């Protein structure tokens, strides 16, 4: 079952990154949320300090963007795509990133406490100094190297799913 999910997610990632995304054809540095009228402006290559807390960003697509110290607290990012994104000091506390894809993205000094990352594909992304207390990574795809880094400080139980962080990472 896990091999099937890995194969499916890998094929989906290959298709998404080899084909031009229709949302990004006019400006490769824009991001749009498919179902939120509150986030309709274009985000160019820098979105430092933006406040997306509590926003509905389902299936949003962010490409080649820097989110330094950006607040995504409790944002709904289910099925969202982060492609080549730098999340330096971003607050992702309580986000729902279920079935999301973070490809070649860098999570540095990020708060992922109480986040839901189930069934997400985060291969080829890096995690440095990330707080994952209470995060749920059930069936998420991560590199072995990053999995070891996350397990080193993993603790707690997710308040929404009731899943132990260390168990969800397979530590």
Q: What is the pLDDT of residue 26?
A: 41
Range of the domain at 105: 1-171
Burial of residue 68 (number of CB atoms within 10 Å: 0-12, 13-18, 19+): middle
What distance separates the 2 farthest-apart alpha carbons in the chain? 43
> Per residue in 105-129, pLDDT tens?
999 999 999 999 999 999 999 999 9
Do the Cβ atoms of 55 and 38 come closer than 8 Å? yes
Q: ∠ at Cα 5 (9, 158), nearest 5°?
A: 95
Q: What share of the chain is helix, strand, coil (3-state, %, to 5)?
A: 20, 20, 60
Q: What's the token pair of residue 112?
A: 């992922």
Distance CA 5, CA 63 (A): 24
C-alpha–C-alpha distance, residues 106 and 126, integer Å: 5
- 38: CATH: 2.160.20.80
pLDDT digits (tens, 9 = 90+) for 19-65: 544 444 444 444 444 433 333 333 445 566 689 999 999 999 999 98
Over residues 58-92, the pLDDT tens digits come to 999 999 989 999 999 999 999 999 999 999 999 99
Query: What's the order of all strands across the beta sheet hosting 81-83?
Result: 61-63, 81-83, 101-103
Check: pTM over 0.85? Answer yes or no: no
Residues in the chain: 171
* Count of domains for the chain: 1
- Confidence class for position 17, pLDDT limits 50, 70, 90: low
Distance CA 9, CA 5 (A): 6
Tokens 């400006």 sit at which residue?
27
């Amino acid at each position: 079952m896990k091999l099937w999910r890995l194969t499916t997610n890998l094929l989906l990632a290959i298709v998404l990154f080899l084909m031009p995304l229709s949302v990004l054809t006019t400006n490769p540095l824009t991001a749009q949320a498919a179902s939120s009228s509150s986030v309709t402006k274009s985000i160019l290559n820098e979105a430092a300090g933006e406040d997306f807390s509590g926003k509905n960003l389902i299936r949003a697509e962010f490409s080649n963007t820097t989110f330094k110290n950006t607040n995504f607290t409790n944002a709904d990012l289910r099925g969202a795509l982060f492609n080549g994104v730098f999340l330096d000091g971003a607050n992702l506390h309580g986000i729902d990133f279920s079935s999301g894809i973070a490809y070649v993205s860098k999570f540095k000094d990020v708060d992922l406490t109480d986040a839901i990352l189930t069934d997400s594909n985060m291969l080829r992304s890096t995690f440095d100094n990330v707080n994952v207390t209470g995060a749920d990574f059930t069936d998420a795809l991560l590199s072995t190297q990053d999995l070891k880094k996350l397990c080193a400080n993993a603790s707690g139980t997710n308040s929404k799913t009731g899943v132990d962080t260390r168990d969800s990472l397979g530590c």
